[in-house]
Structure 1
Amino acid sequence: MSEPIRVVVTGAAGQIAYSLLYMIAKGDVFGPNQPLILHLLDIPLMMGVLEGVVMELADCAIPLLRGVVPTDDPAVAFKDVSAAFLVGSMPRKQGMERKDLLSANVRIFKVQGEALDKHAKKDVRVLVVGNPANTNALICSKYAPSIPSENFTAMTRLDQNRAQAQIAARLGLPVGNVSNVIIWGNHSSTQYPDASHAVVQTDGKQLKASDAIKDDNWLRSVFVETVQKRGATVIAARQMSSAMSAAKAAADHMRDWFNGTAPGQFVSMGVVSDGSYGTPKDVVFSFPVSIKNGKWEIVQGLTIDDFSRKMLDATGKELEEEKTDAVGIIGA
């Protein structure tokens, strides 16, 4: 086995982390031969709860887990970490506007960016889960200038997983038979779940998802709206935001970033935009990416029809507005 790597999870006493920590510790993310030391960060008020989480991790008796460092100090939490799951943020509650969420959370990610800059490994891979994830990731990267901006990503994998599941259900297929569904733009209700490049395996053949579904109206209306509003629908049902599915998506995102994507397949990640597909530059925008040797690359050359163009422009505009608001809040 290799030397242990250090992995930080923020909001470690919270609901998402409660599912995520076990997945990480048992090898679902970094592999069955990679020992690790978990750094758990939360606010002082949550230290008692975090102590219980540490006990449970010990009681799981996981061979790969070589140590746990619970703390409320970012300097300790981010020391020498190779991977960071930035989960901790004020959660979205029913009826809450995104601007309220942005105002509450953008300062948190400024502080965490500064701590990463000072204490983390310079090749640390950072996944922002706490919402509004795209703009939080952008602010975090701005305050960690010594770490490459491509090392900061936002999670849209939950949206991708939701979209994949909707197509699988529509066709009566196992979810693993659906691939290359794309989430464009913001992890918000303006996101664009795009099935036009998705493929499905059915009856021993590979088909375009649109050819298998044979209902463009459903793909551009019910499908899009279901995925866009899924987070709000979950909140309405359980009176709390998505936790188990968000943890699974975070694990999926980081696993693919470390291990790569299969040839011909791509996944959705919020990354700093270079303007590909006519998107605004210098916002964190979700694109289809392929990953090799730990490096993501935006998939190029995909056809963007008029409907898709309109959707990409709308979510891009929202991200530019969020960026302006965020900069105003922190006075950057």
Structure 2
Amino acid sequence: MAKQPVRVLVTGAAGQIGYALVPMIARGVMLGPDQPVILHMLDIPPAAESLNGVKMELIDSAFPLLKGVIATTDVEEACKDVNIAVMVGGFPRKEGMERKDVMSKNVSIYKSQASALEKCAAKDVKVLVVANPANTNALILKEFAPSIPDKNITCLTRLDHNRALGQISERTGFQVSDVKNVIIWGNHSSTQYPDVNHAVVITPKGEKPVREVVNDDEWLNGPFITTVQQRGAAIIKARKLSSALSAASSACDHIRDWVLGTPKGTWVSMGVLSDGSYKVPKGVIYSFPVTCANGEWSIVQGLLIDGFSRTKLDATADELIEEKEMAYSCL
């Protein structure tokens, strides 16, 4: 029997990331080549005409898996019965704006969207927050959608994870598919910590630690980390636009692994609610290494954290606590 369609919401769907993301979903990149989807696309009223243009293009693409398209500026209509919600829409920081101003705008947006998901979405909806500040936007969404299980609200650090894989691949000459188990700890910001201490490369002679294959600790502890942390800014400088294509691809990776599972022996990075693992304070959305099975994620336990890493984990946690306090002051 054919599978029932999954309803997937994309907010900010007329924007750059949305425009890159919706055809990937319709083509089966997110949920697999045999999973039909119904796309729910939301954007703000000034983008209504552009949003309708995206809908026309989706229809014109004749995607066999696409069983329906809803394009709307009404948040409750967009959220009705959705099984997966990818929250791309947010208020971007503009020149001259203070962090608190941006936080205040996004708190307002995510309170409203959380309430609509709470009221209208499927009760087991899985939520991925992409819009920055992603970790704290996800936390606000959790606060205002209390019936959605905490484990069903996540944020995107898979983009940073994939950037780290790409850097190791470029440095070593091995295919990116041969590199696994890097970790992004913490915030999706410049304080995040890309960690290769537990990562391996699959070589013709078997798995070898990334540190052994790279054989350059100075690079791994310095330029590698800063390159991953600042990659988004570098792309904006080069392209004069944000990293929409890689963000969309990473959002698909995040949801696909969450729903369909991670390969045995492999973990990925997801921003999830801290349970205190690795001495990370509870009550913040923090990126951890996770494995996924049966639609559930689990934090990888028992990894040794050296002194250098401990400092990095704590620094990004401190930033998230500061962001949380700032966001709550805007409520």
Cα distance in 1, alignment partners of residues 146 and 224 from structure 2: 39
Match of 1:311 in 2: 312
Q: Which stretches in structure 2 are left out of the alignment for 5+ residues?
A: none
Match of 2:206 in 1: 205
The residue identity in structure 2 corresponding to 1:277 is: Y
Match of 1:173 in 2: 174
The residue identity in structure 2 corresponding to 1:88 is: G
Match of 1:38 in 2: 39
Cα distance in 2, alignment partners of residues 231 and 303 from structure 1: 29
The residue identity in structure 2 corresponding to 1:136 is: N
Q: Deviations over 1:10-42 (max 9, x none)?
A: 001000011110110111111111111100000
The residue identity in structure 1 corresponding to 2:206 is: K
CA contact (8 A) 1:12 1:42 kept: yes
CA contact (8 A) 1:9 1:38 kept: yes
Cα distance in 2, alignment partners of residues 216 and 246 from structure 1: 29
Deviation at 1:170, TM superposition (A): 0.6
Q: Which stretches in structure 1 are left out of the alignment for 5+ residues?
A: none
Match of 2:278 in 1: 277
Bigger mean CA offset, 236-245 vs 142-151: 236-245
Percent identical residues: 59
Deviation at 1:217, TM superposition (A): 1.4
Cα distance in 2, alignment partners of residues 111 and 122 from structure 1: 17
CA contact (8 A) 1:102 1:131 kept: no
Match of 1:60 in 2: 61
Q: How many equivalent residue pairs?
A: 330
Describe the SS at the equivalent of 1:89.
coil
Describe the SS at the equivalent of 2:330.
helix
Cα distance in 1, alignment partners of residues 23 and 16 from structure 2: 12
Could you say if the C-alpha distance between residues 160 and 98 of structure 1 is closer, same or farther in structure 2, counting changes exceeding 3 Å? farther
Question: TM-score with structure 1 length normalisation?
Answer: 0.97
Report whether the alignment pairs 1:220 with 2:225. no
Q: Deviations over 1:69-114 (max 9, x none)?
A: 0111111000000000000112345776644432321211111111
Cα distance in 2, alignment partners of residues 150 and 44 from structure 1: 32
- Aligned ranges 1:146-295 → 2 under 5 Å: 146-295=147-296
Cα distance in 1, alignment partners of residues 130 and 96 from structure 2: 20
Deviation at 1:299, TM superposition (A): 0.2
Report whether the alignment pairs 1:117 with 2:118. yes
Describe the SS at the equivalent of 1:189.
coil
Match of 1:78 in 2: 79
Describe the SS at the equivalent of 1:261.
coil
Cα distance in 2, alignment partners of residues 233 and 100 from structure 1: 24
RMSD of Structure 2 on Structure 1 (CA): 1.2
The residue identity in structure 1 corresponding to 2:14 is: A
Match of 2:321 in 1: 320
Describe the SS at the equivalent of 1:130.
coil
The residue identity in structure 1 corresponding to 2:233 is: A
Could you say if the C-alpha distance between residues 95 and 158 of structure 1 is closer, same or farther in structure 2, counting changes exceeding 3 Å? farther
Deviation at 1:123, TM superposition (A): 0.6
The residue identity in structure 2 corresponding to 1:24 is: I
Q: Deviations over 1:162-192 (max 9, x none)?
A: 0000011110111111110100000000000
Question: TM-score with structure 2 length normalisation?
Answer: 0.97
Cα distance in 1, alignment partners of residues 24 and 86 from structure 2: 13
Describe the SS at the equivalent of 2:41.
strand
